[in-house]
Structure 1
Amino acid sequence: MRKNFGQKTWMYPMPVLMIGTYDENGKANLMNAAWGGIYDYNHVVLSLSAGHKTTQNIRLKGAFTISFADTPHMVACDYVGLVSGNKVSDKLEKAGFTTEKSAFVDAPIICELSMALECKLVKFNEDGNIIGEIVNVSADECVLGEDGLIDAAKLRAIAYDAVHNDYLVLGEKVGNAFKDGNKLK
């Protein structure tokens, strides 16, 4: 038997996206955002309100990075989502994050977070959502597997559980995409 919950914003998994931008003075800002994801083959979408410092910075610079919150930095990642860059200008420092400039876009890479999508702004769509083009993916070697690619178990990315307001760790392999279903052909 199923239980109905009505209209909810519950989706699994919901990545914990860390959006990095620069302001008009070149100061790095970082926010925690759950509402975003892949939009098309090489595009992402972010659903951020217009009042966020991050949204203003994206309009100004035309670029942003998306890193993924991970278990070692969960507290710091949660903190930068609790405080606004409009009110707390040194929130990255308080969280213990350091940055370096992306070589591909005018946005910061968060050194402590092991993977980043480096994106240029394509447009704000009719709903105000931010559409960005992924121009580079970078990852620290500490999260690479033997095949030289990103190993989800090493990345230890966290997801947001909107039902219980929990963070969950990702990384256990349970199957092979585009392969296991062939057993039913």
Structure 2
Amino acid sequence: CDYVGIVSGNKEPDKFAKAGFTAEKSEKVDAPIIKELPICVECKLKSYDKETCRLVGEIVNVSVDERVLDKNGNVDVAKAAPITFDPFNNAYIRLGEKVGDAFKAGAALK
């Protein structure tokens, strides 16, 4: 994924293949879907502010490969193995440890 993000498709037209990816046309947006990645979030650009670089998008579709679902049909984070960018250390970090319950952990402070 890092390679695809840092290399221009204008200079390397086969960058997906070089990275081991297969592009598939999205039915929802004008951008490719990478078949090898288990989760795809498709977004449409709503606005972009050149001065602040603030970009606002609208999620129009989410696709999830069944291989990363649990027995109840929910995403199993351990199977999906998502990563995030750590800007402090210029590193990619694998996510997965649960640290609380969203929309419940702060209820004790109400």
State the TM-score, normalizing by the size of structure 1: 0.52
Q: What is the alpha-carbon distance in structure 2 between the residues aligned to residue 162 and residue 105 of structure 1?
A: 28
Q: What is the alpha-carbon distance in structure 2 between the residues aligned to residue 126 and residue 161 of structure 1?
A: 24
Could you give the per-residue CA deviations for residues 108-138 of structure 1, whole angstroms, max 9, x where no partner exists? 1110111111122223335354432111111
1:87 partner amino acid: K
Identity of aligned residues (%): 58
Q: What is the alpha-carbon distance in structure 2 between the residues aligned to residue 86 and residue 179 of structure 1?
A: 47
Q: What is the Cα-based RMSD across aligned positions, in Å?
A: 2.0
SS in 2 for 1:79: helix
Instruction: Return closer, same or farther for 1:82/1:123 CA change in 2, 3 Å cut-off.
Output: closer
- Indicate the residue corresponding to 2:25 in structure 1: 101
The answer to whether the aligner puts 1:182 opposite 2:110 as a matched pair is no
Task: Measure how far apart 1:88 and its partner are.
Answer: 1.2
2:68 partner amino acid: V
- Indicate the residue corresponding to 1:171 in structure 2: 96
SS in 2 for 1:124: strand
Q: What is the alpha-carbon distance in structure 2 between the residues aligned to residue 121 and residue 129 of structure 1?
A: 11
Q: What is the alpha-carbon distance in structure 2 between the residues aligned to residue 168 and residue 180 of structure 1?
A: 24
- Aligned with 1:135 (options 60, 63, 82): 60
The answer to whether the aligner puts 1:110 opposite 2:18 as a matched pair is no
Q: What is the alpha-carbon distance in structure 2 between the residues aligned to residue 138 and residue 101 of structure 1?
A: 13
Could you say which structure has the greater relative contact order, defined with CA pairs below 8 angstroms and 6 or more residues apart?
1
The correspondence of residues 123-162 of structure 1 with structure 2, limited to 5 A, is 123-127=47-51, 129-162=54-87
The alignment of Structure 1 onto Structure 2 pairs a total of residues equal to 109
Q: What is the alpha-carbon distance in structure 2 between the residues aligned to residue 112 and residue 154 of structure 1?
A: 14
SS in 1 for 2:37: coil
Instruction: Return closer, same or farther for 1:176/1:104 CA change in 2, 3 Å cut-off.
Output: same
Q: Unpaired segments of 5 or more residues in structure 2?
A: none
State the TM-score, normalizing by the size of structure 2: 0.82
The correspondence of residues 26-37 of structure 1 with structure 2, limited to 5 A, is none
